[in-house]
Amino acid sequence: LEQSIQVIAVNDPSPSIFIPPAEHMVNMLKHDSTHEHFKGEVSHKDNKFIVTGQEISTLVEQQPSNILWDELVVHEKFGIIEALMTTVHSICNDVKIRQNLIPLSIGAAIAGKAAKYEEIYVAIKEATNGPFKNMLTYTEDEVVSTCFIDDIHSSVFYAKAGISLDDRIVIK
């Protein structure tokens, strides 16, 4: 972890049924096959894991809408009534490989305030130069996920990947 970044919590919506969430996070951080083994000190206590002295709470929330997202860019600018997130899971020690290859739909995105898709990505782009500078990055480049292996941002907004069904429903 970067010394200048304070991580408060990490959500693992599908934790291992065999290992408590904090212990699972420690195991995954110590044995990361993409970024190699973490070279710092990692441990766990109660529902927190500790990385180089920084305590991080673990959440096990199946529905992202139940996490307090009040500070998000799109929510602040347009309001979010519902959200849709699609993910392809990486290979994990407790998931069969065929389960990693199928996208998983989790919900749908309906904005509280009408907005064209272009307005949304302009708001995101502005936020990457403002309050979310070290957390969010924006790109229009032709990229793949491996382009971001060493990226420090917790979220990447790829402007060409979204579509708007109307002024209130955007799929990203």
The full set of domains in the chain, from first to last, is 9-59 (no CATH), 64-171 (3.30.360.10)
Of 83, 88, 41, which Cα lies nearest the Cα of 66?
Answer: 83
Only one residue has tokens 């382009």, namely: 147
Decide if 52 contacts 41 (C-beta within 8 A): yes
**pLDDT bucket at 43, cuts 50 / 70 / 90:** very high
Strand 48-51 vs strand 42-45: parallel, antiparallel, or unpaired? Answer: antiparallel
According to DSSP, the residues that pair with 152 across neighbouring strands are none
Is the dihedral angle over the CA atoms 26, 30, 31, 32 positive or is it negative?
A: positive
pLDDT tens per residue, range 69-95: 544 566 667 766 665 555 555 555 555
For residue 80, what are its two tokens?
């979010």
Query: What is the reported pTM?
Result: 0.44
pLDDT tens per residue, range 123-164: 889 988 887 888 888 888 887 777 778 888 888 888 887 777
Of all helices (H) and strands (E), which one includes residue 158? strand 155-158
Please give the residue that has the higher pLDDT: either 51 or 31: 51
- CA–CA separation, 159 and 122 (whole Å): 9
Phi, psi of 105 (to 5 degrees): -85, 135
